[in-house]
């Protein structure tokens, strides 16, 4: 298990380095950051001054290695746009995304797994069809549209919840529900298909024949085997949710990481973009590694035990 | 009995409703403002975006104030001024001005602020705003002299808005970052709290000098929030949670008009199609004057302006905004005439048409497509290339975008000096490099005689039109969405002046 863990961590480190180098390069492919920072009213002279002030006139490799050197010392640099430390900006926005992503994920999981199990018990039955309808709708309806409709109905018409911002916990209600609804279908469907497969196997029939209570057959015997693909998928979904949904954060005016990443890209705020990308790649790497480890724990075949 | 889903939802909603904070509005004398873009940190000298500058103008004052109705300058922190020689401006300062932190305003503040921000290492965003100042000298506690590095016709424009004065002791202690974190000015509102980029709360500063042209603010509190999604802003405006929003697209403005107040106002920003007579590849059909003229004749600018800009936008008759000093439409006009365009192309040797790459940035794709469709009718096949502004303008400067469709806001200043010299003054954006033309512009930009300046700009605009180096398209307008209770007056410089706003 230790060798397996070390191998996974080495791959994870390579992924982080590759992602940060690639994103650094892409920033320069999109356009000259100095011109972007100077803005639509900036003259060539203004851009030249910015290029010099922020060191964009140095070779790309020197700039990248300089950034890596600072990051290794725990310094993400200053935001060009906000003129304040990047860590301070990220720290201010991380909680919003963490709450939004964490609560949405929990809600999606709490709905998806039981619904998937119930649907799998009688494939083609009424519950199954309703669950699939709910899932297909969730996958098909764009979250920005759903978000806006939720704002109109619950915020504007009925005034039940705040329509924007996260000044109070109520501000999270609509975005959490909308985000969870977009994350739920995939998890529900994979639980359902996994359960249908497992429930048809001989050992489940044996368990039922032994007279075990239904819940024990499902939770104790079937779910443990059906859950393996769900663990991998859930880790990815949590990664997506924790990266901050640009759409949801924009629609509900939440000041999270997703919006920060998107807006920093538009204004060529290189230090912020680099920091956010590194953090997000770390989140993904940690989650996928964790999912692999959980799967290895659940299924001895994965960790090579014979 | 188990509660139904509806019952659960309704009870949840009821709890949420009880906990929802009370909304601010006319009743609580709070103006709720939304911006789509995040304001930058509030050190005016480092701000490029209009949102940050609007907030900054509520907090800070400069030496002068421009009265947009009369087009004249009034004293703001200055009481009076004189020009002892062409390169010196002397200002007598007001004695009754206090900063938001209680410090008295004196000449030291002017000298310290301006001498700091003109240093290249301070990082002032726009060189044009400060590069005309050589140094600032204190004559006595209430008199300062600005020694100019060069004659500059836009000096007063810059002093009236772009060069705010900071309290010297505080500024020296906290620097630019500290100033942005906790701004201290003399303006009509003081910043009481901010979550950078998210929410700003401003409160009326009752210690403002009654003589200030910015005195007399009516509304007590202004809350500014960043809300990236326009649809969310519409929802809040209609439900009374928002009092002011801007930059509403024309089609949306029409739909909202029955529910809220919609005000459309022309602004300085103009759109245009630059036609470079040179290309990095060495050859471009645009080097032929007749091809450039054909392009100008082929575009139905009236129809495009009506369809896509609407509101208070106007078709431009020259490469300038009619609201700007020095703008004149007494130049060669290119009416929409596809037949003439075809004839000009044939004359230039392009009877069977030609192919033209067109880059566009910071302009809506449908407008670029409409231009391409018009050009296709006369045989010019356009390959559209949409880029971010930075990438587009870099391509233009590298001579790789022979036709570049974009816009320019002249820094919101009503003077063609802030437009023409950028594109034809001999700098990096000037691909024409016409020495005579840039000479006229240089003379006009530095002269103090308005008539001489007008004459020079008229010659320059005529040359630009004769050579068809630019196809001027239309002036922009801004649609503001206001709550029905709010009285707000927009200005063409796009600077919202909330100190002039009131409740109906």
DSSP state of A158: S
Cβ of B394 within 8 Å of Cβ of A32? The answer is yes
Percent of chain B with pLDDT over 90: 69
User: Which residue from A minimizes the CA distance to B198?
Assistant: A255
pLDDT of residue B119: 93
pLDDT of residue A44: 75
* B38, B47 Cβ separation under 8 angstroms: no
Query: What tens digit of pLDDT does each residue of A224-275 get?
Result: 888 888 888 888 888 888 776 788 998 898 888 888 888 888 777 888 888 8
Q: Name the pLDDT band for B24 (thresholds 50, 70, 90).
A: very low
* A290, A284 Cβ separation under 8 angstroms: no
Cβ of B229 within 8 Å of Cβ of A253? The answer is yes
Instruction: Select the residue of A40, A43, A158 nearest B409 (Cβ to Cβ).
Output: A40
Longest CA pairwise span in chain B (Å): 91
Instruction: Answer yes or no: CATH 3.40.50.300 is held by domain B22-260+483-503.
Output: no
> Which chain A residues touch B20 with a CB distance below 8 Å?
159-162, 168, 170
Query: What tens digit of pLDDT does each residue of B355-394 get?
Result: 999 999 889 899 999 999 999 999 999 999 988 787 788 8
Q: Residue B461 pLDDT more than 90?
A: yes
pLDDT of residue A84: 81
> Which chain A residues touch B428 with a CB distance below 8 Å?
43-45
Among A142, A143, A89, CA closest to A261 = A89
**Cβ neighbours of residue A245 under 8 Å, at least 6 residues apart?**
A100, A101, A143, A179, A258
- The complex scores an ipTM of 0.75
Longest CA pairwise span in chain A (Å): 83
Interchain CB contact of B19 with A (< 8 Å): yes
Q: How far apart are the first and last CA of chain A?
A: 13
Instruction: Select the residue of B228, B232, B392 nearest A163 (Cβ to Cβ).
Output: B232
DSSP state of B240: T
Averaged over successive runs of 10 residues, the pLDDT of chain A (306 residues) comes to: 78 83 74 72 74 79 82 81 85 90 93 91 89 91 90 86 83 92 91 89 85 81 83 85 81 88 83 86 84 79 63
> Which chain A residues touch B180 with a CB distance below 8 Å?
83-84
Query: What tens digit of pLDDT does each residue of B445-459 get?
Result: 888 788 999 999 999
Question: Could you tell me the domains of chain A?
Answer: 2-72 (no CATH), 92-268+277-298 (1.10.3720.10)
> Which chain B residues touch A45 with a CB distance below 8 Å?
127, 427-428
Predicted TM-score (pTM) of the model is 0.80
Of B3-7, B238-242, B248-252, B372-376, which gets the smallest average pLDDT?
Answer: B3-7
May I ask the CATH architecture of the domain B267-476?
Roll (3.10)
Q: Residue B15 pLDDT more than 70?
A: no
* Cα–Cα distance for residue pair B381/B372, rounded to 1 Å: 7
- Tell me the C-alpha to C-alpha distance, in Å, between residue B369 and each of B227, B366, B392, B439, B475: 30, 5, 17, 36, 18
Q: Name the pLDDT band for B14 (thresholds 50, 70, 90).
A: very low
What residues does each domain of chain B span?
22-260+483-503, 267-476
Query: What tens digit of pLDDT does each residue of B428-440 get?
Result: 889 999 999 999 9
Percent of chain B with pLDDT over 70: 95
* Cα–Cα distance for residue pair A191/A228, rounded to 1 Å: 9
Cβ of B195 within 8 Å of Cβ of A255? The answer is yes
Interchain CB contact of B228 with A (< 8 Å): yes
User: Which residue from A minimizes the CA distance to B129?
Assistant: A46
> Which chain A residues touch B195 with a CB distance below 8 Å?
92, 255
Cβ-in-10-Å burial (0-12, 13-18, 19+) of B283 comes to exposed
User: Which residue from A minimizes the CA distance to B413?
Assistant: A41
pLDDT of residue A303: 65
Determine which of B23, B193, B198, B405 to mutate to test the interface with A (most A C-beta atoms within 10 Å). Answer: B198
Cα-only R_g, chain B: 25
Query: What tens digit of pLDDT does each residue of B62-104 get?
Result: 999 998 888 889 999 999 999 999 899 999 999 999 999 999 9
């Amino acid at each position: 298990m230790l060798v397996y863990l070390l191998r996974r961590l080495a791959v994870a480190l390579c992924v982080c380095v590759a992602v940060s180098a690639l994103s650094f390069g892409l920033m320069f492919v999109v356009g000259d950051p100095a011109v972007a920072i100077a803005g639509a009213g900036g003259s060539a002279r203004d851009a030249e001054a910015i290029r010099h002030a922020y060191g964009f006139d140095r070779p790309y490799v020197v700039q990248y290695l300089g950034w890596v050197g600072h990051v290794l010392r725990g310094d993400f640099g200053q935001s060009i746009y906000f003129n304040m430390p990047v860590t301070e900006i990220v720290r201010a926005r991380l909680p919003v995304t963490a709450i939004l992503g964490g609560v949405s994920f929990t809600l999606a999981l709490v709905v998806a797994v039981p619904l998937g199990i119930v649907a799998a018990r009688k494939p083609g039955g009424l519950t199954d069809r309703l669950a699939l309808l709910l899932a297909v709708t969730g996958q098909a309806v764009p979250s920005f549209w759903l978000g806006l409709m939720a704002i109109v109905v619950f915020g504007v018409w009925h005034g039940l919840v705040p329509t924007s911002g996260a000044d109070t916990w109520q501000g999270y209600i609509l975005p959490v529900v909308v985000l969870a609804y977009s994350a739920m279908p995939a998890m529900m469907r994979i639980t359902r298909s996994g359960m249908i497969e497992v429930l048809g196997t001989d050992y489940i029939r044996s368990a039922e024949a032994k007279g075990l209570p239904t819940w024990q057959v499902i939770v104790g015997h079937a779910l443990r085997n059906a859950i393996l693909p769900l663990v991998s998928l859930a880790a990815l979904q949590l990664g997506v949710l924790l990266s901050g949904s640009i759409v949801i954060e924009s629609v509900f005016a939440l000041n999270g990481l997703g919006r920060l990443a998107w807006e920093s890209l538009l204004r060529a705020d290189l230090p912020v973009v680099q920091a956010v990308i590194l953090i997000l790649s770390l989140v993904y790497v940690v989650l996928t590694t964790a999912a692999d480890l959980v799967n290895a724990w659940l299924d001895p075949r994965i960790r090579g035990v014979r | 009995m188990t509660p139904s889903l509806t019952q659960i939802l309704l009870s949840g909603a009821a709890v949420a409703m009880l906990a929802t904070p009370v909304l601010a509005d006319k009743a609580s004398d709070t103006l709720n403002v939304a911006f789509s873009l995040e304001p930058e940190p509030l050190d005016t000298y480092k701000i490029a975006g209009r949102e940050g500058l609007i907030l900054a103008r509520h907090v800070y004052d400069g030496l002068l104030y421009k009265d947009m109705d009369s087009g004249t300058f009034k004293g703001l922190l200055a009481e009076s001024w004189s020009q002892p020689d062409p390169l010196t401006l002397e200002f007598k300062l007001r004695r009754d001005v206090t900063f938001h932190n209680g410090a008295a305003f004196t000449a030291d503040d002017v000298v310290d602020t301006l001498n700091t921000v003109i240093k290249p290492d301070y990082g002032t965003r726009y060189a044009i705003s400060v590069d005309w100042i050589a140094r600032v000298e204190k004559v006595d506690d209430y008199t300062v002299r600005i020694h100019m590095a060069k004659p500059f016709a836009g000096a007063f424009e810059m002093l009236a808005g772009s060069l705010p004065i900071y309290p010297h002791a505080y500024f020296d202690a906290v620097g630019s970052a500290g100033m942005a974190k906790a701004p201290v000015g003399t303006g009509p509102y003081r910043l009481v709290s901010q979550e950078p980029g998210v929410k700003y709360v401003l409160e009326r500063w009752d210690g403002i000098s009654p003589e200030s042209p910015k005195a007399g603010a009516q509304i007590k509190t202004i809350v500014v929030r960043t809300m990236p999604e326009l649809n969310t802003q519409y929802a809040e405006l209609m439900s009374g949670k928002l009092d002011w929003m801007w930059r509403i697209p024309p089609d949306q403005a029409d739909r909202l008009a029955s529910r809220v107040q919609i005000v459309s106002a022309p602004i300085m920003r103009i759109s245009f199609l630059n036609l470079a007579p040179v290309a990095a590849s060495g050859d471009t059909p645009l080097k032929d004057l007749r091809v450039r003229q054909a392009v100008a004749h082929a575009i139905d600018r009236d129809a495009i302006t009506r369809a896509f800009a609407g509101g208070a936008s106007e078709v431009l008759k020259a490469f300038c905004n009619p609201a700007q000093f020095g703008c004149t439409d007494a130049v060669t006009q290119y009416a929409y005439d596809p037949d003439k365009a075809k004839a000009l192309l044939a004359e230039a040797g392009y009877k069977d048409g030609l192919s033209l790459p067109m880059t566009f940035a910071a302009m809506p794709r449908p407008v670029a497509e409409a231009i391409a469709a018009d050009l296709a009718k006369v045989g010019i096949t356009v390959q559209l290339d949409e880029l971010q502004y930075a990438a587009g303008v870099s391509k233009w400067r590298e001579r790789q975008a022979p036709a570049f469709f974009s816009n320019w806001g002249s820094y919101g200043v009503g003077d063609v000096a802030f437009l023409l010299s950028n594109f034809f003054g001999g700098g990096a954006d000037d691909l024409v490099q016409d020495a005579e033309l840039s000479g006229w512009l240089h003379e006009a930009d530095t002269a103090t005689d308005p008539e001489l300046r007008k004459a020079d700009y008229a010659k320059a605009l005529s040359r630009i039109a004769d050579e068809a180096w630019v196809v001027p398209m239309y002036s922009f307008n801004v649609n503001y969405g206001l709550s029905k209770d709010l009285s707000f007056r927009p200005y063409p410089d796009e600077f919202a002046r909330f100190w002039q706003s009131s409740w109906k």
